[in-house]
Structure 1
Amino acid sequence: MSSQDNAPEISVIVPVRNEAGNVEPLIREIAAALAGRSFEIVYVDDGSSDATPAELVRLKGELPFLRSLRHDQSCGQSCAVRTGIRHARGRLMVTIDGDGQNNPAYIPALVDALIAGGAKTGMIAGQRLGRKDTGFKRWQSRTANKVRAYVLKDGTRDTGCGLKAIRREVYLALPYFDALHRFMPALVKREGFEVGHVDVVDRPRLTGVSNYGFFDRLWVGILDLVGVWWLIRRRRRVPVVSGGGQDAD
């Protein structure tokens, strides 16, 4: 029997860097939220320099559903998500931030909405309510979301929420670049799929401090937005394929 025969239905991908104090509580919450379902949790340690790797090694010996991967150096959140999804064994992918601000209790709602949407629905995006960040971070997020929505017209209020459910094959069809996770609704629609939404209530991070700043990604974000706008304009139509038979040699 191949390992794929025992593949879980759901793979929860958790990109993480220097979040040692948040690892165990978040894993326990994810497992509780998915009790009774077939799942795995795939942590991707994006070059942590704290005790995050040791925590994952300790917990893997105790929890059979936990898997972990590691980048030798930090490559960014989108790269960590991509690594996790490429190595995941499930059919349905769920992404969640590793700092504990995303509440795993909403994972079943995202997964159920994705399943209910059928093949035409490629992704369900969480949209945060009651943000617990500082006033400045809330302002920068609102500003970025308004600009993105105006330019891309992706129909999504909040693309910065880490909670997303997406079909593995849909994710792998998306063009990859750093910061892809902030433009996924627009790019999923570009591939001809619908995007649904589930409101989720934000909460404070469990421990630690944010690894991300504002000015270090401002100009890169503008360039990314222009690039995604260009990609969407260059997609004339999505082909509908019919027929069968063997591929030509």
Structure 2
Amino acid sequence: MSASPVFSIVVPCYNEAASLPALLEAFSAAGSGVDFELILVDNGSTDNTPGELARLLPLYPFARAVKVDVNRGYGFGILSGLATAYGRAVGWIHADLQFSPAAVFQAALLLDRAGGRKVLVKGLRRGRPLLDRIFTAGMSVFETVCMGTRLRDINGQPTLFDRSLMKDWTSPPHDFSLDLYVCVTAARAGFREVRFGVENLQRRHGASSWNRGFLDRLALARRTIAASLRMRARLGGGGR
């Protein structure tokens, strides 16, 4: 990795010790010959994530760790990693291997082909259960109306964009709504959104902390609506 890599990708890791060996090996295989950095954020884990990072990172020179002592949210973990990133483009992907690390390099290629500047690249999830797709479609309609800009599959991964987008960020959210924030601020800054299909795979280890049934989806919808209204109040309603 050079002092100024082409891109930096942040992976927030909360109790993902079991996923780390396969995650790092997948990045190593997909990123051979690519100048990038991988920032693994131990986001207040209570399992053996710190021990696994200490054991594995010496084997992968493109990767390094950032430590968050107490979990303060998904967004806080990502922002902690972004604050240390050197890449000309930056972004994130989840640690649970539901999205292949190879998709990160596809996103980087699309960003380069699109000219890099003023472009946001995001995955568009494929292969999801019908109920999940209906939930996402409904929330996309709500967010489009709420924020005044066309939005879809807000939580699709990976996410990659030119780092210049961050210079105008003010108080980005520390929770799950960071993905919404980047989509809205990119649209209002005149960024073009590029989407590409990414297979949504089954988790290899552990279980989702929220998606365990219909009631969980309803609870998430309530939290999402509340977070969206707070964000609209901060950013101002309406499109750019």
Residue by residue, what CA displacement relative to the aligned partner does 1:163-188 show, whole Å, maximum 9, x if unpaired?
11111221343231222223321211
Bigger CA drift: 17-26 or 184-193? 184-193
**CA distance in structure 1 between the partners assigned to 2:15 and 2:83 by the alignment:** 22
**CA distance in structure 2 between the partners assigned to 1:128 and 1:30 by the alignment:** 20
Quote how far apart the aligned CAs of 1:20 are. Answer: 1.0
Contact 2:57–2:64 (CA under 8 A) maintained in structure 1: yes
Bigger CA drift: 119-128 or 24-33? 119-128
> Any residues of structure 2 matched to 1:79-98 within 5 Å, and which?
79-98=76-95
When the two chains are superposed, the root-mean-square deviation of aligned CA atoms in Å is 2.4
Quote how far apart the aligned CAs of 1:152 are. Answer: 2.7
- Find out whether 1:159 has 2:126 as its counterpart: no
Aligned letter for 1:169? S
Quote how far apart the aligned CAs of 1:64 are. Answer: 1.4
**CA distance in structure 2 between the partners assigned to 1:20 and 1:47 by the alignment:** 12
The alignment's TM-score, normalised by the length of structure 1, stands at 0.83
- The match for 2:229 is 226
Counterpart of 1:173 (choices 162, 168, 175) is 168
Counterpart of 2:49 (choices 22, 35, 52) is 52
The 3-state SS of whatever aligns with 1:103 is coil
Contact 1:159–1:184 (CA under 8 A) maintained in structure 2: no
Give aligned-pair identity as a percent: 25
- The match for 1:247 is none
> Any residues of structure 2 matched to 1:56-71 within 5 Å, and which?
56-71=53-68
- The match for 2:185 is 187
The alignment's TM-score, normalised by the length of structure 2, stands at 0.86
Counterpart of 1:100 (choices 97, 102, 107) is 97
Gaps of 5+ in 1: 238-249
Quote how far apart the aligned CAs of 1:131 are. Answer: 1.6
The 3-state SS of whatever aligns with 2:183 is helix
Aligned letter for 1:110? A
The 3-state SS of whatever aligns with 2:103 is helix
Contact 1:190–1:235 (CA under 8 A) maintained in structure 2: no
> Any residues of structure 2 matched to 1:74-153 within 5 Å, and which?
74-118=71-115, 120-131=117-128, 137-153=132-148
Aligned letter for 2:141? K
Quote how far apart the aligned CAs of 1:145 are. Answer: 2.5
Contact 2:147–2:237 (CA under 8 A) maintained in structure 1: no
**CA distance in structure 2 between the partners assigned to 1:197 and 1:162 by the alignment:** 10
Aligned letter for 1:51? N
Contact 2:143–2:151 (CA under 8 A) maintained in structure 1: no
- Number of equivalent positions: 232
- The match for 1:212 is 210
Quote how far apart the aligned CAs of 1:218 are. Answer: 3.8
Aligned letter for 1:180? L
